[in-house]
Every structure is written in C-alpha cells, then in structure tokens.
C-alpha cells in the first residue's frame, strides 16, 4: 500500500536506525520529550484544543495553569501524557494488544473529563457531522471491537507495520467505540503498534487536519492507500529526526546531503518550488518539514529525477 519511493526510504532509514542501536540515552531522552510534547499538542489540537505548543510544554514541565484556558484543556494535556506512559509500558510488554488495552488508554485520556465514559464503550447512537459514514449502533460495538482484535492478530499480520498501524487506527475511528476521545485513543494505538516494531512514535500534525480527515473519509469508502501513505510520511519524518539526533558526526555532511530550502533546490533542478513542495507533501520526494518550511537535499532531488527518468 505504501508508495514504492516512500516504502524504500522508510526501509533504509529504519535499517540505519537499527544499526545505531543501542541509541545514545541522553539524545533519545531529549528527543522523546520533544516528540511526546508535539504528539500531545497536535493530537489535542486536532480535536479542538486551543493550547499552543509552548503552553502544552509549560503544563507538562511545570504543571503551570495557563490563564484563559479551560480546565478540560489542562486535563487533556496531563491525561495524554499518562496515556503515553501507559503505551510505553505496553511497548515493553509482549502481551498482544486487545480491546481491553484500548479501553485502558481511553480511560487515561478521559479521566476527570468524563469519568462515567472513561474506558467504557458508548451506550448511545452517534453520528459524525458532515460524514456519510454510518457508525455501528452501541449494541454492536463490543462485537465490532472483537472483530478488530481478530483482524489485528490475523489478517493484519501480513501487512507492513506502517500499513497495519494506519489501518488499525482507522478501524478504531470507524467503530467510534466511545462517546469522546476516539481520535486520541486511536492515534495512541497506532503509535503503540509502530513502537513495538522499533519505530519511533509518529505525529499527525494539526496543520494537516483537513488532509487527515480527508484520507480517513477515503478509507471509510474502502480507499485505504491514501491514509497509509499519509501515516507513512509521518513515520518517515520521525525516523529522520531520530537519525539526525543519534548519528555520530565528526565532520559536516557532504554538500549533496545537506538539508536545503525547496527554493534553493528549485534553482538547480528541473522543477519549480511549487512542484517540489507538492512532491514533498505527497511523500514522493524525501523532505523534512521544520516549522513552516520544507527542506530537501540535492541527493534526494537527484534520486527523484532518476526514478522518473530511468
């Protein structure tokens, strides 16, 4: 399901990361803190939280109360960190992932926000505004979750882990087993499956919320490839960050391997900056987003050119 270029880059980067193990403890701890903060911020922001990344970091690091922000938004941050801690404990366990674990993650996400619903399947019929996807009735949820578990430990095992994690996440969202907190829970389960296979956690950015909902809707209609590639691009971004942080370097990288802005790449390539941006956003060109800017390398542009001409 993964685009062949994206699949190959993920394969090579995962192999390179595995070759570096054991990873430097200090670098990993620092990077984990950064990615976990971004995971919490973006996952909550997708669901409507108005907290900024910096405010999220302050709450996590100091327990500070942010003026003008709701108590719920503060609980969403603290709860999400507890859910991540639990996910990390499951990563170290060999116990198969089950609907019970999904409910435990959800309980942590919704504690003190909706104590009655936290960890419990919904008892009400719900509809998603603006979507034609029909959610199962509440009495069907336990059976659908049992089907999810059977799929996860059966048919899904033949899939690449990125596809398996992306589709497991979609199937949970499509069941919508809880009244609230389904997205945050499903994204945590996605990262649990990735991390168990040695991948770093991946962040679905708030900036791509529209695209995220669009690929989920396409998966509802049976077109799962766009979602798998969407998640794959997030996986590649995390792998790149880990490699940058954990690779020992005694000298600067070669010129063709240095990250450069897309406008610089457009100056020596046959493509415009706009087209390079499209290639980066769709995963066809190896690229890394820092802040609002996309970066690539001369080597990545040459590899893409070769793939389309050769």
Set 74, 106, 169, 176: catalytic member: 176
| Range 60-70 average pLDDT | 95
Cα–chain center distance at 69: 26
What value does the mean pLDDT take over residues 33-43?
97
**Considering the chain, what is the average pLDDT of its residues?**
95
Looking up tokens 């570096």, which residue turns up? 20
pLDDT in tens, 44-64: 999 999 999 999 999 999 999
- Cα–Cα distance between 62 and 171 in angstroms, integer? 36
pLDDT at 158: 97
Look at the alpha carbons of 160, 163, 165, 167 in this order and tell me if their dihedral is positive or negative.
negative
C-alpha span between 119 and 182 (Å, rounded): 11
Average pLDDT over residues 96-115: 97
3-class DSSP state for residue 41?
helix
Over the stretch 217-234, which tens digit does the pLDDT of each residue have?
999 999 999 999 999 999
pLDDT confidence of residue 164: 98
Residue 77 is predicted with a pLDDT of 98
> Rounded CA gap, 54 and 17, in Å?
29
Query: Quick one: average pLDDT of 93-113?
Result: 97
**Residue 84: is its pLDDT beyond 70?**
yes
Average pLDDT over residues 122-139: 88
36, 263 contact by CB (below 8 A)? no
Position 130 pLDDT exceeds 90: no
Active-site residue 80, yes or no? no
pLDDT tens for residues 188-211? 999 999 999 999 999 999 999 999
Residue 254 has pLDDT above 80, yes or no: yes
The reported pLDDT for the residue numbered 310 is 64
Dmax of the chain from CA atoms?
Answer: 62
List Cβ neighbours of 90 (8 Å cut-off, separation of 6 or more).
Answer: 97, 101, 192, 196
Which residue in this structure is represented by tokens 């919320």?
209
Q: In 3-state terms, what secondary structure has residue 296?
A: strand
């Amino acid at each position: 399901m993964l685009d062949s270029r994206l699949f190959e880059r993920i394969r090579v980067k995962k192999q390179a990361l595995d070759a570096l193990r054991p990873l430097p403890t200090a670098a990993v701890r620092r990077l984990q803190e950064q990615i976990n903060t971004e995971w919490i911020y973006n996952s909550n922001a997708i669901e409507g939280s108005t907290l900024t990344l910096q405010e999220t970091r302050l709450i996590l690091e100091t327990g500070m109360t942010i003026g003008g922000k709701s108590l719920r938004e503060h609980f969403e941050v603290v709860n999400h960190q507890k859910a991540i801690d639990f996910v990390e404990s499951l990563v170290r366990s060999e116990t198969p992932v089950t609907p019970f674990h999904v409910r435990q993650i959800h309980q942590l996400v919704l504690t003190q926000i909706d104590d009655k619903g936290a960890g419990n399947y919904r008892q009400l019929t719900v509809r998603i505004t603006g979507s034609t996807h029909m959610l199962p009735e509440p009495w069907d949820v336990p059976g659908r979750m049992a089907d999810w578990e059977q799929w996860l430990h059966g048919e899904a095992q033949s899939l690449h882990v990125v596809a398996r994690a992306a589709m497991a996440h979609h199937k949970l969202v499509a069941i919508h087993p809880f009244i609230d907190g389904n997205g945050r829970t499903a994204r945590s389960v996605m990262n649990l499956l990735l991390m168990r296979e040695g991948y770093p956690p991946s962040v679905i950015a708030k900036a791509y919320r529209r695209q995220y909902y669009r690929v989920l809707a396409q998966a509802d209609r049976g077109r799962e490839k766009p979602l798998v590639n969407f998640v794959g691009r997030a996986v590649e971004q995390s792998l790149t960050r880990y490699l940058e942080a954990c690779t020992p370097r005694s000298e600067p990288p070669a010129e063709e391997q240095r990250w450069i802005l897309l406008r610089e790449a457009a100056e020596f390539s046959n493509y415009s900056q706009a087209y390079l941006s499209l290639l980066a956003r769709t995963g066809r060109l190896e690229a890394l987003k820092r802040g609002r800017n996309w970066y690539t390398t001369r080597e990545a542009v040459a590899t893409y050119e070769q793939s389309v001409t050769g």
